[in-house]
């Protein structure tokens, strides 16, 4: 079986971007969209990891103040490949997931200048929205929240995850 770095990186990145973009447009929940895109592109994301990400959407509980859900989903994807597993939980703390997540965080911050959901909303939509208010949620949609703005954020995170995983010296398969 080929290793990830033996596949064309740009093709994989484009594929991940397209999946995440489409999923965010159709289904929402940005961390799940990023994880689904990685799963569809290269695999390695379990159903449990996918499911556990839902509460991270909208900066956590749709509150907007925490880390962008797409970014959180991206760091979860990286950790699914390089995070510490339970078998070594009490004896070892590998640092690979920290380093690769830092790389993703830096790419994200360089692009958006923010990391909170509300900050990213302000950057890409011109303002932030209260996702718990029906009126505000309607405005979010009117401003293109799920038309192209958040889908492009999720798409970028998914492609950056693929890039980071592709470029690492360790095999993800």
Residue 120: partners with Cβ closer than 8 Å, 6 or more residues away: 68, 112, 114, 153
Residue 169 DSSP one-character state: S
Quick one: 142 exposed, middle or buried, by C-beta within 10 A (0-12, 13-18, 19+)? exposed
Rounded to an integer, what distance in angstroms lies between the CA atom of residue 90 and that of residue 126?
45
DSSP for 73-114?
HHHHHHHHHHSPPGGGTTT----HHHHHHHHHHHHHHHHHS-
pLDDT band at 1; cut points 50, 70, 90: very low
In angstroms, rounded to a whole number, what is the distance separating the alpha carbons of residues 104 and 34?
Answer: 13
Q: CA-to-CA distance for 75 and 31, rounded, in angstroms?
A: 9
- The whole-number pLDDT of residue 173 equals 53
pLDDT, residue 78, reads 98
Task: Check residue 20 and give its pLDDT.
Answer: 98
Q: How remote is the C-alpha of 153 from its chain's centroid?
A: 8
- pTM exceeding 0.85: yes
């Amino acid at each position: 079986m080929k290793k990830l770095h033996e596949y064309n990186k740009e093709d994989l990145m484009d594929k991940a971007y397209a999946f995440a973009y489409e999923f965010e447009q159709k289904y929402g929940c940005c961390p799940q969209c990023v994880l689904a895109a990685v799963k569809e592109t290269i695999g390695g994301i379990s159903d449990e990891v996918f499911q556990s990400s839902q509460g991270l959407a909208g900066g956590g509980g749709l509150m907007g103040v925490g880390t962008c859900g797409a970014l959180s989903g991206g760091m979860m994807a990286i950790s699914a490949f390089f995070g510490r597993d339970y078998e070594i939980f009490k004896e070892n703390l590998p640092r690979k997931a920290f380093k690769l997540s830092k790389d993703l965080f830096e790419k994200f911050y360089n692009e958006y200048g923010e990391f909170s959901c509300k900050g990213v909303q302000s950057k890409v939509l011109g303002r932030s929205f209260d996702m718990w208010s029906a009126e505000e949620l309607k405005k979010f949609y009117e401003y293109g929240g799920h038309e192209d703005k958040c889908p492009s954020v999720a798409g970028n995170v998914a492609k950056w995850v693929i890039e980071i995983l592709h470029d690492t010296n360790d095999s993800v398969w």
